[in-house]
Amino acid sequence: MSETAEPNAGTFTLGTPPTTASPTAVTVPEHEEWPLPNGFAWVFPGEDNGGGIRRPVIMADGFNLGRSELDKLYQGLEGGEFPLVSELRRRNRDVILVGFEERSASILTNAETATAAIMRAHAEQLGDARLVVGGFSMGGIVTRYALTRLEMQRMDHRTGLYFSWDSPHRGASIPVGVQAFAYFIPFPNDFAKQMNSPAARQMLWRHYDKDTGKIGVAPERTEFLAELERIGNWPRIPRLLGLANGRADGVGLPEVKPGEVALRVDGIYPGTTFYTQAQGDDVTAAYLKRRLPQAEKTVTTNGFPELDGAPGGTLHTYEILADTLRKLGGTVDLRHEDVCFVPSVSAVAVRDIEKQSDLYVNIDELSPEESEFDDFVLSSTTTPHTAISEELCTWLLDRLPD
């Protein structure tokens, strides 16, 4: 350990899709690779399509730091509860996985990659089947923007169905105390780079500003939402489907009570404590302390709803942080491994997440017209963000166009 600073706990990142680990290794089959602007794609042909691209399903990768690792994305899609890629190919669908050179780059930048994949699939396609285009987490936002912009430009994307899988259409949530800790680490680090990246600033409902210490809507998010509005907000030609890993009945994570200790650290960053988000003003979200260079900070929120226990797809936020600190020699008291990452109302675009009543609304009791999707589905039980479940897969497969 350095004599002038705490250990660097910022070598970790909060990865997203897919969060479900494969119980066994899955071999990635032979595939063609397309080089694309700011990214690339892997192409897996349908089993009996006779060669060439005939019925393409384009699926975009989600948020993390660095270049897309499509082998890991494939593992997550194929090696868990339901083999999504194999089932699509068995149905003679050509699967095109889209990756990015930098997953944390601006959504507008990565939309250029998705656009190029859509246009190449269109150009190489044999037959006249309409495309299926979508993505996981950020990938659903990227493809939404790409299709909407193509329509604004009067370009034919030939897409019959768009889907997003647990995408944060109304914003995602990383506890602001955890965000602040990224910059409290006395080293340049990957976690801080991830939290301060263009894509994170565009998608997070509230962002901790490292320069001012203030918590608010990042300028990049305001600009992105204005840009979406300018081009039409949503594609109008394809049928729009939304899938969510959270529940619809307003039940979130009952074990995650507001205002409780989520994680306490000793040994390194001694006494650093993260709390589950509670309502009210001047609410303590985290107390941060380090020995070298000595510093301490209390992070407080005003007017937040109870985000951490809300209905939605979960992320192993505190488990990932605890594991990292434990490996560096810290003693951790981990009370809550998972918290809500993409609220259900955000994933199916029915309500914003500022108000407690909207965040915890029973979606089953709302009129379907409140959603910006033509149709949507939520998980019957709370599941990890972008988890590939049989329930959600079969719902999507049953709605693919002929």
Residue 7 is predicted with a pLDDT of 75
Q: Which has the closest alpha carbon to 60: 18, 4, 13?
A: 18
CA-to-CA distance for 299 and 310, rounded, in angstroms?
Answer: 21
Domains assigned to the chain = 32-170+222-248+367-397 (3.40.50.1820), 176-219+252-342 (no CATH)
Count of CB atoms situated within 10 Å of the CB of 279? 14
- What is the rounded CA–CA span in Å between residue 167 and residue 358? 18
pLDDT for the residue numbered 18: 66
391 three-state secondary structure: helix
Look at residue 304 in the predicted model and tell me its pLDDT.
98
DSSP letter string, 350-388? SS-SSSHHHHT--GGGS-GGGSSSSEEEE-SS--BTT--
Beta strands in 87-180 (DSSP E): 94-100, 131-136, 159-165
Query: How high is the pLDDT of residue 4?
Result: 55
Burial class (CB in 10 A: 0-12, 13-18, 19+), 205: buried
The span from the CA of 196 to the CA of 256, in Å, is: 27
At 5, is the secondary structure helix, strand, or coil? coil
Average confidence (pLDDT) per 10 residues, the chain, 402 residues: 62 65 77 97 90 93 95 92 95 97 98 98 92 97 98 96 98 97 91 95 97 96 98 98 98 96 95 97 97 94 98 95 91 96 98 97 95 97 96 97 86
Instruction: Note whether 370 and 324 are within 8 A (CB).
Output: no
Query: Minimal CA–CA distance to 81: which of 396, 297, 401, 394?
Result: 394
Looking at residue 1, its pLDDT comes to: 40
The burial of 325, by beta-carbon neighbours within 10 Å (0-12 exposed, 13-18 middle, 19 or more buried), is given as: buried
The pLDDT of residue 10 is 64
138 contacts 203 by C-beta, under 8 angstroms: yes
Q: Name residues whose C-beta falls within 8 Å of residue 110's C-beta, 6 or more positions apart in sequence.
A: 38, 39, 60, 100, 102, 103, 138, 142, 199
- The 3-state secondary structure of 287-311, one letter per residue: EEEECCCCEEEEEEECCCCCCCCCC
Q: What is the DSSP string of 168-205?
A: -TT-B---HHHHHHHHHSSS--HHHHHHTSHHHHHHBS
As given in the structure block, the two tokens for residue 96 are: 């095109």
